[in-house]
Amino acid sequence: MTDRYSRQIRFRPIGQDGQDQLAERCVVIIGLGALGTASAEQLVRAGVGQVTLIDRDYVEWSNLQRQQLYTERDARERLPKAVAAKQRLCEVNSTVTIEAIVEDVTATNIERLVAQADLIMDATDNFAIRMLINDVAAKREIPWIYGACVASYGMTYTVLPKETPCLHCLLNHLPQQQDTCDTRGIISPAVQLVASHQVTETLKLLTGAKAALRRTLLSFDLWTNQQSQIDVTSLKQAACPSCGDAAVYPYLNGTPLQFVTLCGRDTVQVRGEGKRDLVRLENEIRARGMKSQRNPYLLMFETEQHRIVAFADGRILIHGEADPEQAKQTYATYFK
Amino acid sequence: MQTTRGGEYMQIRLNGKDYPLAEQTKTLHDLIQQLNIDEEVVIIEQNHQIIDRSRYMDTNVQSGDVVEIVHFVGGG
Ligand SMILES: [Zn+2]
């Protein structure tokens, strides 16, 4: 056991001191797709004391190409990603305290979810959730690390409260998302490189090596061999609604939508009204003469047009539907 | 693609690589159009100076410019 971290401790900038500090820290990882599983594995192997894993989704076959913690069995059983990731990570390093949370991160619950975080690792897949992370991180003064990739392109940026420009300073508003991994694909090396940058910045921050931080907005394209770094310090806005002197945290204080089309997925997510009794739902579905599949976290059934997944936390995914209005009707049919 | 303006070969340094400028690429706005990047998610540095998003239309691109472009993506 004492040998576990010997190579990392021998790395001078970390050393025994840094290793001891890592053991005292908590990282909250939001999103457990490709980026989240890559950074979770590195952080757990590195011996960060507490790692909290949050994801709202379950493992599917198309995840296995790049989401490194999942197996065919996880996909067959449709295990929630947080649960499957925790199982694997506990095998990797049983000395780390790992918490798995199967929840949709919203304005309502995010402050509770990040309460213990020394750092928030962004491994999400859309701008709306990142703006929410950005708000809560500014409010609670927690550093967070943006990471994203699509195709062979990746980018990352480290946001330090009261120090660097925040995401809202850089973007001004919530952009429409155009490229997604579902429309343009993704290769695993792009994921790994973004995650490596994110984890390295995390190791620096958690061991107090702030002088070593990169301090730039970074992007690269592994296929076209381009890379770029920009010092964005000058973009910090004193009047920023998220990090400025009179911040109002607009995304944290906004009302969440009830029916949201998941970008590029031909899926509408319905945020439910609290926890759902899956056994009762299963009985109702069977009473309609339909088949369903249930595990402790979710229940899945298929209609003629849709595959519907109901989670124990109350959320519903309607696959095969991109129109929120249509989704409302489908929802009303089975859940009202 | 050989591109010239007034007989001069036009080329910028874009994200660390030489990049030939097309005849019709006159401004930063033209450049990001050509690169097929969404203007609202882009940060551009031209000759070590960040250019405000509202000024892409009237900021010219000159041969020899060093341009860095980072655009935000959402996937992960
Ligand atoms: Zn800001």
State the pLDDT at residue A86.
98
Q: Is the CB of residue A165 less than 8 Å away from at least one CB of chain B?
A: no
How many Å lie between the alpha carbon of B4 and the closest alpha carbon of chain A? 24
Domain spans of chain B, in order of start: 4-71
Query: Which whole number is the average pLDDT over A24-32?
Result: 98
pLDDT in tens, A163-216: 999 999 999 877 776 666 667 899 999 999 999 999 999 999 999 999 999 999
Give the ipTM of the model, two decimals please.
0.90
For chain A, domains (ranges, CATH) are 6-235 (3.40.50.720), 259-334 (3.30.310.10)
What average pLDDT does the structure give for chain A? Answer: 93
State the pLDDT at residue A262.
80
Q: Using a CB cutoff of 8 Å and minimum separation of 24, what contacts does B7-11 make?
A: B8/B63, B9/B63, B10/B63, B11/B63, B11/B64
Q: Give me the residues of A, 249-268, that contact B with CB < 8 A.
A: 263
B50: nearest CB among A31, A228, A232: A232
Residue A319, pLDDT above cutoff 80 = yes
* Domain formed by B4-71, architecture: Roll (3.10)
Handedness of CA A204, A210, A214, A215 (dihedral sign): positive
Confidence category of residue A325, pLDDT binned at 50, 70, 90: confident
**Cβ distance of A150 and B75 shorter than 8 Å:** yes
Give percent of chain A with pLDDT exceeding 70: 95
Cβ-contact A148, A197 below 8 angstroms: no
Q: β-strand A307-311 against B11-14: which pairing, if any? A: unpaired
Query: Which whole number is the average pLDDT over B65-72?
Result: 96
